[in-house]
Structure 1
């Protein structure tokens, strides 16, 4: 008889040690990622500056990893950055976010690229995330996904010379060049 492995849940995740790894759950499976590197963190900081300006303009709140986004007991992800619009703030709880943020940002790396562009994209789409930015340091571009009906649909990527903006905060934008500054 085959042994059935139990699904990981948010309760299991909360019991894991704080050992420098990033732990997430996707479809009940434990996902482990090593701590990000310095270039990754510099890009996250640059994006945080942009999203923080949107928050200061009253459009919502920004959160930077580590923060758990609990979509379901078996789908708990830790995006690099999360933006929750003012109208959606009731999903912000203590100690996590319970439900779909308006914008999720992942900075791709060699160890996360495939997961960020497939499994995590699928989860973000399934649970109602409105916008997803997959930031590619290797190509220095931002892959944009926008909710159309019931799914996230890829839009043209932004590259050097383009401006990064969102309908979530129409009066705030930034240069793609600035995203990748060290």
Structure 2
């Protein structure tokens, strides 16, 4: 499998990002541009759909909103404004409960929950780089879904909202409950029901 295309020749901003062709999909992390992987495989799409259905049904009459990729999440760092933001990501699933962060372009500021579904080309990126990014940006809750091993790893902020607590792991036979939505119980056998461990 080839390496992901990366643009490092300058510090890119959201203003640059908006000029790139619509058929190219990139993310910016602290000014470095990372090409999104090719279209996700069927297993990835089924897991994403299953999670979306669980959340969408529950959130039907709630204030929180759920979005699937591609959906831009801008995470301005200190002293960055709209155009000079150097971090724009497209999580697989995004839940936003503070609707003031939503605009026509997507979400500006930290969502309440982000879910990333691993693929071979993005695994280390999602597990290491994005975990650090989401933690430092104040994303309250972050799930990493591993289709190959049928495990969800959950991170969420400590009481001081300064860093993520120790990771928690949920397997196919378990039930996961979002910290931000404590009444929602998701059976992972329903999420992974069409997944085959290779």
- What TM-score do the two structures reach when normalised by structure 1? 0.91
Range moving further from structure 2, 61-70 or 146-155: 146-155
The answer on whether the counterparts of 2:10 and 2:32 sit within 8 Å (CA) in structure 1 is no
1:127-146 matched pairs, under 5 angstroms:
127-146=137-156
More off after superposition, 143-152 vs 166-175: 166-175
- Matched-pair contact (CA < 8 Å) for 1:130–1:147: yes
Structure 2 residue runs without a partner (length 5+): 1-7, 77-84
| Residue of structure 1 aligned with 2:71, choices 64, 67, 70 | 67
**Secondary structure in structure 2 of the residue aligned to 1:56:** coil
Q: Which runs of 4+ in 1 moved over 3 A?
A: none
Q: Separation in 1 of the partners of 2:51 and 2:118?
A: 13
1:28-51 per-position Cα deviation (integer Å, ceiling 9, x unaligned): 100112221111111110110111
The within-5 A match list for 1:149-168 is 149=160, 150-168=162-180
Per-residue Cα deviation, 1:135-167 (whole angstroms, up to 9, x for no partner): 000110000001113112333200022112113
Deviation of 1:57 after TM superposition, in Å, equals 4.0
Q: Secondary structure at the match of 1:133?
A: strand
> What is the aligned counterpart of 1:54 among 41, 58, 61?
58
2:3 is matched with none
Residue 89, structure 1, aligned to residue 89, structure 2 = no
Whether contact under 8 Å (2:141, 2:179) holds in the other structure is no
Distance between the aligned counterparts of 1:153 and 1:77, measured in 2?
A: 23
Structure (1/2) with the larger strand percentage: 1
2-structure distance, mates of 1:144, 1:50: 17
On the 8 A contact 2:143/2:154 being kept in 1, the answer is yes
> Structure 2-normalised TM-score?
0.84
Task: Note if contact 1:84-1:101 (Cα within 8 Å) is conserved in structure 2.
Answer: yes
User: Structure 1 or 2: larger helix share?
Assistant: 1
Q: Structure 1: which 5+ residue stretches go unaligned?
A: none
CA RMSD of aligned residues (A): 1.5
